[in-house]
Structure 1
Amino acid sequence: MTPFGARLRALREARGVSQAELARALHVSPAYLSALEHGHRGRPSPGLIHQVNEYFGLIWDDAEEMVRLARLSHPRVVVDTAGLSAGATELANRLAREIRRLPPDAIAALNAVLDAVPPEG
Structure 2
Amino acid sequence: MTPFGARMRSLRAARGITLTEMAAALQVSPAYLSALEHGRRGRPPPGLVHQVNAFFGLIWDDAEEVAQLARLSHPRVVLDTAGLPPVATELANRLAERIRALPEGTVAALLRLLDDQEASGRGSST
Task: With the length of structure 1 as denominator, give the TM-score of the two structures.
Answer: 0.96
After the TM superposition, list the runs of 4 or more consecutive aligned residues in structure 1 that deviate by more than 4 angstroms.
Answer: none
Q: Given residue 97 of structure 1, which amino acid in structure 2 is its aligned partner?
A: E
Are 1:112 and 2:112 matched, yes or no?
A: yes
Equivalent in the alignment of 1:89: 89
Displacement of 1:120 after TM fit?
3.9
Q: Given residue 35 of structure 2, which amino acid in structure 1 is its aligned partner?
A: A
Gaps in structure 2 of 5+ consecutive residues: none
Rounded to whole Å, the distance in 2 between the matches of 1:36 and 1:8 is: 9
Rounded to whole Å, the distance in 2 between the matches of 1:79 and 1:93 is: 9
Rounded to whole Å, the distance in 1 between the matches of 2:71 and 2:105 is: 23
Displacement of 1:113 after TM fit?
1.0
Gaps in structure 1 of 5+ consecutive residues: none
Q: Given residue 108 of structure 1, which amino acid in structure 2 is its aligned partner?
A: A
Task: With the length of structure 2 as denominator, give the TM-score of the two structures.
Answer: 0.93
Equivalent in the alignment of 1:101: 101
Q: Given residue 62 of structure 2, which amino acid in structure 1 is its aligned partner?
A: D
Q: Given residue 27 of structure 1, which amino acid in structure 2 is its aligned partner?
A: Q
Partner-residue secondary structure (3-state), 1:116: helix
Rounded to whole Å, the distance in 2 between the matches of 1:2 and 1:75 is: 7
Rounded to whole Å, the distance in 2 between the matches of 1:30 and 1:49 is: 16
Q: Given residue 81 of structure 2, which amino acid in structure 1 is its aligned partner?
A: T
Are 1:24 and 2:28 matched, yes or no?
A: no
Displacement of 1:103 after TM fit?
0.6
Equivalent in the alignment of 1:55: 55
Rounded to whole Å, the distance in 2 between the matches of 1:67 and 1:108 is: 20
Partner-residue secondary structure (3-state), 1:74: coil
